Amino acid sequence: MKLYRLFLMVAAGGMLVSCGSKAPVKPAPAAFSLFETVLKDSAGLVRGADLGDDPDVVRQMEYDSALVVSNKYALIYDYKLPEERALNLKYTFGGNALQKIEMDVFLASEGQADTLTQEFKRYYSKKFGEPQQQMGVYVWMGPSQTGSDSVIEMKDESAEYGYGKLNITIYPKDFQSKPL
C-alpha cells in the first residue's frame, strides 16, 4: 500500500511539474516611437511640463542622469536617443516658475525630422486647433496652467543644418526675455 501511495504522489507531482514547466510567452517588445519618447507625457504642453511649474516639479519629470545644467534660472537636459539621435531640453525659470521650454531634437536625416514634425503638428492641432504658419514656423496658441495663453512654435530646421533637426519653443503670449 505504501508503494502504491508513493507511486501516486510521484505521478501527481510529475503531472504538476510538467504542466507548470511550459515557459511563459513573452509579449513582443513595443516598437520604439520617437514621437512618444520626445513627447513623453501628454499632460501639460510637452513632456508633462506646463508654464508656471516649479523647478522641482520639472526635475521629477526628467532623468537626473541627463541633467547638464542646474541653476535658479534654468534646467538643461541632454538625452541620447537610438540611431544617433539626441534630444536637448532647456527649461527657463523666473520667480521660481517655468517661463519657457526650448526643445531641440537632432536626427539622422531630414526625412526623420519631417516625420516627427508631422506627428507633432497632428498632436498640437488636435489639442489647440490648426496652426498659423509663417516662414516655415508653425504657431499654436493654447492655454496653460498660469491662466494666460501660451505660444507653441515649431520649426523643422533640417535645411539650415544639413541633417534632421526640429525645434519646439513654448512660452507665455506676453513673454519678454529678461537679462539674467
pLDDT of residue 30: 47
Whole-structure pTM value: 0.76
Nearest of 135, 32, 130 to residue 85 by alpha carbon: 32
Instruction: Sketch the domain layout of the chain as residue ranges.
Output: 44-172
pLDDT of residue 148: 66
pLDDT of 23 higher than 60: no
Model confidence band, residue 77 (pLDDT cutoffs 50, 70, 90)? very high
Model confidence band, residue 145 (pLDDT cutoffs 50, 70, 90)? low
Buried/exposed 28-60: b ≥16 CB within 10 Å, e otherwise: eeeeeebeeebbbeeebbbbbbbbbbebeebbe
